[in-house]
Amino acid sequence: MKNRLPSLLFLIYIISTHSIIAQFAEPILLQEDTSNITNIVFADINNDNLKDIIVTKKIESTSISYFINLGDLNFSEENVILSGNSLVTNIATGDFNNDGWEDLISIGDNENSVRLHINSNSTFTSQVIDTFTFFESDISASDIDNDGDLDFIAIGGPTFKVFYNDGSANFTQQTISGPQDNFEDFFDITIADIDNDGYEDVITGGANTSVYKNTNGIITYDSTRSSAINNGTNLMVKLIDLDNDGDLDLLSQSNSSSFGIHWIENDGNGNFINTHIIDPNPYSVESVTVKDFDNDEDNDILISDNFDLLIYNNDSLGNFSLPSVIQDNDLSISTVYSEDFDNDGDYDIIWSADLSIQLNNNTLSIDKNPDNNNINIYPNPVLDNINIYTETSGKCTVYNFIGQIIASDIALNSGYNTIKLSNKAQGYIIKIETNNKATYKKVLSK
């Protein structure tokens, strides 16, 4: 039996659509006319300790390019890595030749090629590593054999290949057999250690959802684990802990109306059981990013669904809210990615089209300030009065769960304080400021 957080947490975090919308600022435009972007990733291209934006495109004269992060949300003009009217679908980053510079690996162009782009002082040299026939494809970097360098996996059409690195960006490739003698159309890939044996396993999405076990660096198709996942064609797969039990669950999107966006629970040993439906009928999921967007110590799900950005909030046990709209765009949003752009401790988002950043202005996040851990609020759940104990004097502000202020600038004395509530709400966020530092506490209402 897996350890669970107390059932009370199931009720703690209920946020309305309006509060979620207000969580993200108005978009900051980086570049117009970017509807053909297929992927967005971040890496420090020029070794200045700032992560830069890298994009791939299809059916454009520029296939791979990057924008240097100048700091303070300023970015350079577009710099081209690979040009040509191409169909690059995905890209991964990492230092493949161990020279201290972030390189790139890409898949998908009019030659159906896998390319390595070696970075030398922000100048890239590209070479074709392999070619094979595919329509849709994906690529991901990982140390598959635990030898201290980055290998990568490329999938497309019916082909699954592992490229083992010798440490100097020389690769030995291995084709992996799958179900039905490898007769499978691959769409997506996710790599992580599902059974805690120290080696990263692989799950692919496509005509089948398939599990590939990593045994001491050797990847093989796992028919037992794969056959337990029977949700039709899955266009998106991602390994992430969604129920806060310490293992990696499987988030997926099926074309079956019975499942839609769903997640399957990991039993702790890499077996996927108990399917949980998040949204049975999303319109058209283009891209997904999973992070703790509200800083409540669980993973939320944000998707681009045709013209919209939608967020599903997690209650810490893997139960998700109805979708709330973050962005309603005039153009189809092809991809979305999350990163902390302004270094304020929460995850912002970048999406296309147009290529835009939205900052996360979450005012109800948890401040993990160790100096303020000596604050106690009781009872919880609360009826009419909130009692606050703090070792130092300060002030507090009370919000409801949709971000409206119930009471503000209430003086707190060192020791015990009582606040009488005149406004009934489902729950409250208590902001407590002492020693010029703030802590946020969640309180249920009876």
Could you tell me the end-to-end alpha-carbon distance of the chain, in angstroms, rounded to an integer?
A: 31
The amino acid at 2: K
The pLDDT, as a whole number, for residue 356 is: 94
The pLDDT, as a whole number, for residue 1 is: 39
Higher pLDDT, 379 or 298: 298
Mean pLDDT computed over every residue of the chain: 85
Contact present, 140 and 152 (Cβ < 8 Å): yes
Contact present, 345 and 363 (Cβ < 8 Å): no
Task: Mark out the alpha helices in 129-263 (DSSP H runs).
Answer: 179-182, 223-227
The pLDDT, as a whole number, for residue 257 is: 63
Contact present, 343 and 336 (Cβ < 8 Å): no
The pLDDT, as a whole number, for residue 343 is: 81
Mean pLDDT for 434-443 is 79
- Mapped onto helix, strand or coil, the DSSP state of residue 53 is strand
Mean pLDDT for 401-425 is 82
Percent of the chain with pLDDT over 70: 89
Planar angle of CA 364, 368, 370, nearest 5 degrees: 140
Higher pLDDT, 352 or 422: 352
The pLDDT, as a whole number, for residue 19 is: 40
The pLDDT, as a whole number, for residue 232 is: 72
Q: Which two tokens stand for residue 413?
A: 């004395």
Place of tokens 């109306």: 257
Higher pLDDT, 341 or 384: 341
Mark residue 400 as left, alpha or beta (left: phi above 0; alpha: psi -120 to 50; beta: remaining): beta
Mean pLDDT for 325-348 is 89
Mean pLDDT for 327-337 is 89
Most confident range (mean pLDDT) of 76-80, 191-195, 310-314 is 191-195
Q: Which two tokens stand for residue 147?
A: 């030898």
Higher pLDDT, 59 or 216: 216
* 120-134 per-position pLDDT tens digit: 999 999 999 999 888
What are the angstrom distances between the C-alpha of 309 and each of 200, 246, 395?
A: 31, 28, 36
